[in-house]
Chain A
Amino acid sequence: MRTGARRTRYERGKFDVDGRKSDRRIATSIGEAVAPAENRPLRRFAENHPWWLAAIAISTAILLYLIFAIWPAWLVQIIGKKKVFLNALFNGITLGGLYFLVASGFTLIFGLMRNVNLAHGSLYLLGAYIGYMVAGWTGYWLLAFPVAFILVGLLGILLQVFVFRRMERQDLRQTLVTIGISIVLADIMLWVFGGDFLNIIPPSWLSGPMETIFVTGVKRSSGDLIYLKYPLVRIVIFLASVAIGVGMWTLLNKTRVGMLIRAGVDDREMLSATGARIQLVFVGVFAFGAGLAGIAGVVGGTFQSIAPGEDVRFLLASLVVVIVGGMGSITGAALGAVLIGISEQFGSVYFPTYSVVVTFMIMVLVLAFRPQGLLGRS
């Protein structure tokens, strides 16, 4: 409904200036009824912000050059070794994959229920511990993922049914209660699992580095190309999070359940008035979001470590990601996650002492100039 209203207003504006253009607009919008909906935002963006588009195109070209070209000496002089740059870039993207897994559940829950779940980090940590136990007992790393998803999802259902449903629309109460739950869960986990640093050991076929197709330099002696070596496990984990992201996007945009959820995000009251069982949708979304946090825990436990305190760190990371990306937007969470991941990694290499500042600078800039987040709705 809202999009439609906005477009009408937009077309009227165009009509006042230039009738011909608006004819084309109408033609396009008729065509759009048949054509896939996703071309629309891009073209509209191109027409509205040609300069932005040019800037994006140029930076993409520079980025591609930096990734694929063999760096000349003067460039190495300025930025440093290409190996370092490529590693920081890829690590940022893979770290973004992990942040996306945590933050997407967080943003989904917020978007639908307007519930800032400050216990989300605890769900992450719980998933990590469950994954650790499952992988340790059975010896199957892959089995850790479904088990963590299901068990943490079940806890999510319990939380929604027994806690959040009782205090719908009471933001302050919910916030305080989720803080309370996170403290209680953290202490229970400390009691059960202790304070040691645990690692989920990936299977041996995933450990160690692999050679990639990216060239980092040329050997001075023989003139052979040196290829970038990159940890295999991170590549696999990144691909998995892309798959999950695409799956979520498809679920939200192409299925009936997704339609219900999107409708709920737009207008809960109207949706429930049409007879949809909104409480069931709420429970489902909460379980799914919690389960994703659980999966993220297994991922994090594999390429980082599991220890008390990780819950707070990932809660903070997801807060920053969704603030940057836009509360309630899945694509925003993906964009924010990659942005924060990359800035953290580049920060840690190029200005290590102040790397934390970079992350929060991005957040401050977004809050100052686009408080609803990069892809959020005002």
Chain B
Amino acid sequence: MKAKSIQLAAAAAAIAAAGAAVEAETLKVGALATLEGTYTSLGEDGMRGLRLALSQASNMAGGREIELIVGPTDATPDSAVRAARKLVEQDGVELVIGPLSGSEGIAIRDYSKTQPHVTFINGISGAQETTYVTPSENFFRFNMDGAQWSAGLGEYIYDEKGYRVIATIGEDYSFVYTQVLGLVLGFCQLGGEVAERLWVPLGTKDFSSIIAALPDDVDAIYLGLGGGDAVNFLNQYQQAGGEANLIGGTIMVDPTVLSTEGTAKNALIGVPSSGPQADTWDDPDWRAYVQAYIDEFPPDQRFPSPSLLATGYYNATTAAVSCLNEVGGDLSDGHAAFRSCLSDLVLDAPNGSIHLDHNRQAIGTNFIMETVQLDDGSLANEMVGMIENVNQTLGLDPDAFAKIGAPGRENPACTTSYE
């Protein structure tokens, strides 16, 4: 009896020792991405960006080998929290990269507050609230939010396209509210008017009646749709013979939509839009990144050019790896050195330089673009303008910006001044 218990104790000690040895070497990293539901192909491309960054770092960070554990979500906040809990509480990851979708980001920010010993780096979720309202000490976001991605678009459609009255249609959730906020601020300050804002539930598949109800006495219609919803909209828009001027939201004109089959997407040719990257930008760093993406994955398992989701996850992972290298993989003292490195990091990202503000929110470069048809018949976004150092208050005075309030279905109101 006694001998047996000693044996057991010895075995347990051996296992514990082995565990400790492994822990010192490998670093468990969790990834959250929408690998189910309407945003599946977006999540898949996000994971490509993450894997590209890991492969460029030879899967090592700060001398420790990285063990990647993936938590699939379906763009709902509860699925994101469920996956994050599994990664943190069951698999024991020390670092979480993700999530992808706006409302998921808000939920993960709240969850991160309950797990102070884990560092969370946002994948590409773009709701404003995530970092602007009650930010979390251990949640970092190296991508701009939806409003920052709209920076400059309102000015462009007013000045260059000559639109004066527009209507918006968008999916009914935080990210698109944030995008419309950015658009409204720019467009209305110049004197533009937003006649109507239509909101449809995320995952709407039959847009035909909404297409018929689109106002025909406006200059252009802004489309804040993404993924399968965007594809369905374009498809039914073509069937209905739609002819309005369109303005693209950031994920409306992403490679996830532009690379679908059929002719319906041709409605997007010439459509102005804005976002954190432009496919045809001739910056050498951007070209090198696109080439690395193309070389890393076989043609049938990637888009012709990385989507902004891939870029977002790529940047988040690169930021984590470079800071882990700087602190030598040392995550002691509640990740103190690692987090301070992240806060001060100036990330030389392929889509322009990125650094964080006091809320750990990215300040970066935004691009204005138009969708064009390339010689091979495929569609891409051509850069027509670039705005550097876009911060979360979009250049407005922080107090004035705070007065606007949280982005919502009818907020902000369309006025010429927000001072």
Contacts and interface: CB of A to CB of B under 8 A. Distances in A.
Contacts of B38: 307, 309
A348 B208 CA distance: 10
A203 to B, nearest CB: 12
Interface stretch (A147-155, A188-196, A240-248): A188-196
Contacts of A199: 231, 235, 260-262, 264
Contacts of A262: none
A230 B242 CA distance: 11
A91 B206 contact: yes
B180 to A, nearest CB: 14
B207 to A, nearest CB: 8
Nearest to A353: B199
B201 A356 contact: yes
Interface stretch (B18-26, B40-48, B139-147): B40-48
Interface residues of A, number: 43
Contact of B240 (A209, A309, A352): A209
B212 A307 contact: no
B40 A352 contact: no
A229 B240 contact: yes
Interface string A89-130: 001100100000000000000000000000000000000000
B241 A229 contact: yes
A305 B231 contact: yes
A304 B205 contact: yes
B11 interface: no
Nearest to A88: B209
B327 interface: no
A231 B209 contact: no
Contacts of A308: 36-37, 40
A250 B35 CA distance: 44
A81 B217 CA distance: 13
A355 B202 CA distance: 12
Contacts of A352: 172, 198-201, 210
A353 B409 contact: yes
Count class of interface residues, chain B: 35 or more
B41 A194 contact: yes
A10 interface: no
B267 to A, nearest CB: 12
A201 B231 CA distance: 13
A100 B199 CA distance: 27
Contacts of A230: 240
Given A196-B260, A197-B228, A201-B262, A309 B239 contact: no
Nearest to B43: A195
Given A198-B261, A209-B240, A231-B239, A305 B205 contact: yes
A348 B205 contact: no
A308 B227 CA distance: 11
Contacts, number: 130
Contact of A234 (B199, B239, B256, B260): B239
Nearest to A186: B36
B236 interface: yes
A12 interface: no
Contact of A197 (B36, B172, B231): B231
Interface in A222-242: 229-234
Contacts of B264: 199
A60 interface: no
Given A87-B213, A234-B239, A349-B210, A313 B40 contact: no
A214 to B, nearest CB: 12
B236 A349 contact: no
B212 A83 contact: yes
A195 B72 CA distance: 13
B227 A87 contact: no
Nearest to A356: B201
A199 B235 CA distance: 8
Contacts of A207: 238-239
Contacts of B241: 208-209, 229, 231
A234 B208 contact: yes
B56 interface: no
25 contacts: A83-B212, A87-B211, A87-B212, A88-B213, A92-B209, A95-B206, A196-B41, A196-B259, A197-B41, A197-B256, A197-B260, A199-B261, A199-B262, A207-B239, A209-B239, A231-B236, A232-B239, A303-B239, A305-B235, A307-B40, A307-B41, A309-B40, A310-B205, A349-B210, A355-B200
Interface of B: 35-38, 40-41, 43-44, 74, 172, 198-201, 203-213, 227-228, 231-232, 235-236, 238-241, 256-257, 259-264, 409
Given A91-B209, A207-B239, 17 more contacts: A81-B213, A95-B206, A197-B227, A208-B238, A209-B240, A209-B241, A229-B241, A231-B239, A303-B236, A305-B205, A308-B37, A309-B36, A309-B228, A348-B204, A348-B207, A349-B212, A352-B198
